[in-house]
Amino acid sequence: MVPILLGVILLAPLGAVIGCLGIRHPRFVELLNLAAAVSVFLAVLVLLPLALAGPYLFWGGYLIVDPLSAWVLLSVASVYLLASIYAIGYMRSSPDRDLYRFYALFAGFGLTTLAGPLMNNVGVYWIAIELTTLVSTFLVCFELGRESIEAAWKYIVIVSGGISLALLGIIFYYWGGSLIVGATYDLTWAMLRHVAPQVDHTIGLMSFLLVFIGFGTKVGLAPMHTWLPDAHSEGPAPVSAMLSGALLNTAMVGIVRFIQVSDAAQLGLMPRTVVVSIGALSLFVAALFITRQTGIKRLMAYSSVEHMGVMALGFGFGGPLGVAGALYHMLGHSLNKSLMFFGAGNAMHVFHSKRIGRMHRVLSRMPVSGLLWLAGAVAITGAPPFGLFPGEFTILRAGLAGPNGWAALIMLILLIVIFVGFLNHFRAMYFGHAMKPRDETRHVPDRSAAERHEPLSGWCLVPMWLALIPLLVLGLWWPQSFMHYFSAIATELSMGGSP
Amino acid sequence: MFAAQLPPLAASLFSLVAIASLLLSFVMLGSRWLTDYLVAFAAQSWLIACLSAAIGYYGHFPELYVIAALTALFRGVVLPYLILGIIKRLDVDREMHERLSPSACLVVGALLVLFAFLISSHLGQALGLSGTVAVLALTVMLSMKLIGFLMLTVRNEALSQILALLVLENGIFLGSQILVPGMPLLIELVILFDLLVVVACFGVLVRFLLAQTGTSDASRLRRLVG
Amino acid sequence: MRDVWLQVAQVLTVIALAPLLQGVILQWEERVQRARGPGIFQPYRDLWKLFHKQGVVPHSASFIYWIAPIVAFTCMLTVPILIPVLTDFPLPESDMGDILGGGLILTLGSFFITLAGLDSGSAYGGIGSSRAVMLAILAEPTLILVFVGITLLAKAMLPFVVNHLLVAQPAVYWSPAHLFLVAAFFILLLVETDRLPIHSSTHIEVYMIDEARILEYSGPLLALLKWASMMKQFILYTIFCNVLLLPWGLSRRGAALGALAAAGALFAKFLLVALTVVFVETAQSRLRYYRYQEPLAVSFLLAVLAIVANQLR
């Protein structure tokens, strides 16, 4: 059963890529991508309980299906589905420019992001991450323009440089292991954990730091986050949702698995302290930039930095509570960030501007979408009754109970700061005063009146509902099955070895 | 460990090749002309291919001959050819506004080599490997990475940034050949092909960059702030 | 007793042959540029002429003006005692100073000439002194670094030990550490003997670096200064060849015939190096003065790489 599901998960997007490049009719490529996304999501849903039965290895040990990868696949697949639905509506309203290229790249992006958590071989995992960078660069600069090409250039240069550090760390660790086991051995996560206790501590620590900084560049932790606001704000909205909601999670898997390896190597308190500090720094940087932000999508991007910091804190605190909180947060963040980017895309479509200062009286211009967006904004700052609140609360509990309690306090203060700063922007957009006359004259009226009041298509609204309702449910009810799932993952991660 | 028990001739051969590669990366750091970078990069790739072949010979790793041939072909011929195509399209031939003059870069690079040397000798002492070619391999690998990042930081031309990323990869490859020659073949092959894809993507991106901003100078990309 | 004679002979060799080396270099430079050249014995004729001329002293000159040429000449007389010129075994008083000591004395002479350039208050003297000092700011630390590299290579600070090491072990001779040191020292040689492709060999003040310092001198004092700079060049070439590059051809037992043959071999080695220097200087067009940092940065880099490569040997 599991191999069939894996085949669906990997081959459906691949088929979509080939199909989009083969038949270039716009409606066909939209539906093909959507079909691939739906089938992937259903396959992942079926895979989720099956994965609990322990790690399965396929293809000569190159693919692994264990609870952690299944959970990450759930977040990725849900974002892929939601973004595919939204993309149909969004891309239809933009000029019809080679839609087949967009959907081929989009399906390719989905494929590489789904492949990441499934990779058992560390080198192949690294290559999957590198491929996601390459594919998403072209998606970021899809709407060609000065800013988008600048964003794409910064993205690819910074991230490629960063993950080359991760490769250095992996090779160091392999070298440390080769001093013990012999010159040739499999570069799998399990093998790394196996040699971990005997690897020299200096090598182990150095390679952990290199891998953390390297993959941390991809995840978007400060101070390596400088590409993130640009790349996430310049791409089309469905691409931003995929980048924030799916790709960052895939890169996080690498960090989590390497934390597991470093725990097995018993390097002391230093690795987790570093993870926690960088998480706290990400929250701090995000808080500063959110408070004084002028672009709506950059605001969402910094919110991604914040939530990645929270997840790093969760995984850094460790233990059953920390891991459970971080994983719950992962799913909640994926849904919520997609919701926010969809709302931002709708707002940009209605107001024809990216700047927060230009968006006024949102509820009067887009009633339903605006209400959903406001709910999403309240959710993403961690307020109950939505799904991010239990996750952050659990992470705080884990932090206060562990050795890095200071980080939990910093997290608390910064979350409050972000709450105020983020919702302040929304207050200005929804309930603020109208534009001053001075700004009115500078606004270039370049669209016809009919187009300005073009209603948002249903394709743009449905994914917002689909994202918000599970978020609300997750906030009100923490299912026992999830708890069971998380504790399985936490046991695996903290024991430093798979059962 | 392979590198710890080598006949002296092999050890001096490896150290000569490694130091020559490091010297070539300094040539890249210290010159302003883009074609000079490229020639130095190609020469460095060829040297590393020779190193692979030598390690395959002395360590009895026959698959390394394949890697050496592929490295010489892809990193030494195909990549420079692709980048030469990009240079021709660019119509720039030198680095105009670097943030740090080439001579100051050379001095900073020398200090970075000293730093890498300190780390590697410390590590070598901790592992009992000091005095072998492994410490040299570590030094060269770390210094090439540091020099690559230095180039990324101070150079403004798009092409210099591409070449700096490739120098980073070259450094890792050099180190991995000496330190872990037994690494699975598949990984090395895929990384090699991955580089090709990276450079191809960069070629397309540079074309977009030229078309949209009219210049390939990355220091002009200043519109996205905050 | 014989060793004392050999020591004196070393100093006399330096005094006697220094102008010949300068003459050869200048003649070859002219020949490369397809001119006839003044002949290789011209510096001797110039010194003879200058000693027979009357010296003219500026009004504003102080005691520095008088003692600088004497100090410089004396320093250049002292250094050949410390380095292997004719023999490869240490002669009496050669442990008076090691490699760093020799460098110190050379720099002392140069320092006094720089002071003399400032002393008379003329504009060209000031330019020459400031340019020479600017070069020295980068060149002296690099020179010390090269000396450190040589010391680490041989694990001793005496030039004789280095010489023996390089002759006895070809593996060390061909090691990257030694080759980098040779390259670094070659660049420093160009800088110290004022043969960078920045100055021009014609007597134009704008291009001068070291020569501008002595523009106020005339007569016997000028002769002493010129002789001192020619001896400095000879000494640097000696260190370069006999210690680093071509350490063979020195007298082993100190017989008279051996010493003469060593002097001849010395000159032959110098011709090789002089050829390279002439080639480097004439093949490159004149650069702006501020490009002086580039060869010095390369020299610094090579010295650092040599030290690192040496530790990993």
Number of domains in chain A: 1
- Is any Cβ of chain A less than 8 angstroms from the Cβ of B102? no
Distance CA B160, CA B217 (A): 10
Q: Are B90 and B159 in contact (CB under 8 A)?
A: yes
Q: What is the model's pLDDT at position A450?
A: 38
Q: Are A339 and A471 in contact (CB under 8 A)?
A: yes
Cβ-Cβ contacts under 8 Å, C305 against chain B: 19, 22-23, 26, 110, 113
**What residues of C are in the B interface, CB distance below 8 Å?**
171, 175-176, 293-294, 296-298, 300-301, 304-305, 308-309, 311-313
**What residues of B are in the C interface, CB distance below 8 Å?**
12, 15-16, 19, 22-23, 26, 30, 101-104, 106-107, 109-111, 113-114, 117, 121, 131, 133, 135-136, 139
Q: Give residue-wise pLDDT tens across range C141-196.
A: 899 899 888 888 888 888 888 888 888 887 788 888 888 999 999 999 988 888 88
Which of A261, A96, A251, A302 minimizes the C-alpha distance to A174? A261
Q: Are C239 and C82 in contact (CB under 8 A)?
A: no
Nearest beta carbon to residue A134 from set B169, B187, B198: B198
Structural domain including C232 reads 2-311
Mean pLDDT, all residues of chain A: 87
Q: What is the DSSP string of A193-257?
A: HHHGGGS-HHHHHHHHHHHHHHHHHHHT-TTS-TTHHHHHHHS-HHHHHHIIIIIHHHHHHHHHH
Q: Do A171 and B183 touch (CB under 8 A)?
A: yes
Q: Band of the pLDDT at A214, cuts 50, 70, 90?
A: very high
- Is any Cβ of chain A less than 8 angstroms from the Cβ of B210? no
Does A touch B (3+ CB pairs < 8 Å)? yes
Q: How many CB pairs under 8 A join A and B?
A: 128
**Alpha helix positions (H), chain C:** 2-32, 42-51, 63-82, 99-119, 123-154, 159-168, 170-173, 176-192, 219-238, 256-283, 293-311
Residue B136 has pLDDT above 90, yes or no: no
Q: Do B139 and C312 touch (CB under 8 A)?
A: yes
The whole model's pTM is what? 0.87
Number of domains in chain C: 1
Q: Do B226 and A298 touch (CB under 8 A)?
A: yes
Q: Do B191 and A127 touch (CB under 8 A)?
A: yes
Instruction: Quickly count: other Cβ atoms within 10 Å of residue A465's Cβ.
Output: 13
Which residues in chain A (386-445) have CB-CB distances under 8 A to chain B? none
Q: Band of the pLDDT at B40, cuts 50, 70, 90?
A: very high
- Is any Cβ of chain B less than 8 angstroms from the Cβ of A149? yes
Q: Give residue-wise pLDDT tens across range A425-455.
A: 999 888 877 555 444 444 444 444 434 456 6
CA distances from A272 to A205, A258, A308 (A): 11, 11, 16
Cβ-Cβ contacts under 8 Å, B150 against chain A: none
Distance CA A101, CA C262 (A): 79
Q: Do C311 and B121 touch (CB under 8 A)?
A: yes
Mean pLDDT in residue range C299-306:
91
Q: Are C127 and C210 in contact (CB under 8 A)?
A: no
SS3 A224: coil
Q: What is the model's pLDDT at position C10?
A: 87
Can you point out the beta strands (E) in chain B?
Answer: none
* Percent with pLDDT over 70 in chain A: 94
**Does residue A445 lie in a domain region?**
no
Cβ-Cβ contacts under 8 Å, B123 against chain A: 202-203, 206
Which of A382, A262, A397, A380 minimizes the C-alpha distance to A324? A397
What is the residue type of A140? V
First to last CA, chain B: 50
Residue A79 has pLDDT above 90, yes or no: yes
Does C touch B (3+ CB pairs < 8 Å)? yes
SS3 A61: coil
Which phi and psi (to 5°) does residue C55 adopt? -85, 145
The ipTM assigned to this model is 0.93
Structural domain including A339 reads 2-436+454-495
For helices A248-265 and A319-351, give the axis angle rounded to 10 degrees.
160
- Is any Cβ of chain B less than 8 angstroms from the Cβ of A292? yes
